[in-house]
Amino acid sequence: MIFAALGYRADTSSTREYAAHAGSLSAAIPGRSGFSTRVRMPFYLLPGDLLLATPLYFVAPSAYQKMAVTAANGGLIPWQLGWATRFGRFQFVLGREIGAAFYGSSTAAAPGTATSAAPILYSFKSTFVDLPVIEFRPFRAFDTRQTAQLIIQLYVGADIPSGGDVTFPAGTPREHLKTVYSVGLRADFDWRRYF
């Protein structure tokens, strides 16, 4: 229901290339790695409202606990409630979770210009932000010693570049880099054994 995570993420290059057989350098997004973070928190009416309402816990703890239980069950917005089916549970989760990956310096290539056929090499940094939209949780398996759960999320993301300094050939003007938007599926398998 609620978590904050820190990690390290490594991605392979995208399959779209400007030149055939040029490898990762000519990919739209090259292979890269960096630190990542993810935060999940249910909300009562608006994302982050439970955090802002924390002082209510010290004044009226039972009212705050009722808010938190309502938020965990989907909040006041009817389309945020989970739908239990015989296959598992679906839930619209936009605003409940956000993830970001902060990639260090990457090198990529762009096609040459009209005056020079040589490819242009440039370095840049980027931040990838993703927002899960719909989540599917098949029913969990558990016994007294272990649990297993699969979570599948449909998410939207934006890869935001910064920098774009040209490393070769010298004297070439700086590259203008564009944000790359994406839609994807994420699968998370959680298995726990208790001793």
In a domain, 118, yes or no: yes
In a domain, 81, yes or no: no
In a domain, 75, yes or no: no
pLDDT value at position 120? Answer: 75
The long-range contacts involving 76-83, CB below 8 angstroms and separated by at least 24 positions, are 76/44, 76/45, 77/45
**Residue 4 burial (CB < 10 Å; 0-12/13-18/19+)?**
exposed
Average confidence score pLDDT of the chain: 83
Output 168 or 86, whichever has higher pLDDT: 86
In a domain, 34, yes or no: yes
In a domain, 56, yes or no: no
Mean pLDDT of 91-118: 80
Q: Is the pLDDT of residue 117 over 80?
A: no
pLDDT value at position 147? Answer: 82
Domain that holds residue 21: 3-41+96-193
Least confidently predicted of 59-63, 99-103, 138-142? 138-142
Give the count of domains, the chain.
1
Q: Is the pLDDT of residue 173 over 80?
A: no
Q: How confident is the model at residue 18 (pLDDT cuts 50, 70, 90)?
A: low
pTM reported for the whole predicted model: 0.76
pLDDT value at position 180? Answer: 86
Report d(CA 128, CA 160) in Å as an integer: 6
In a domain, 54, yes or no: no
Output 47 or 35, whichever has higher pLDDT: 35
In a domain, 84, yes or no: no
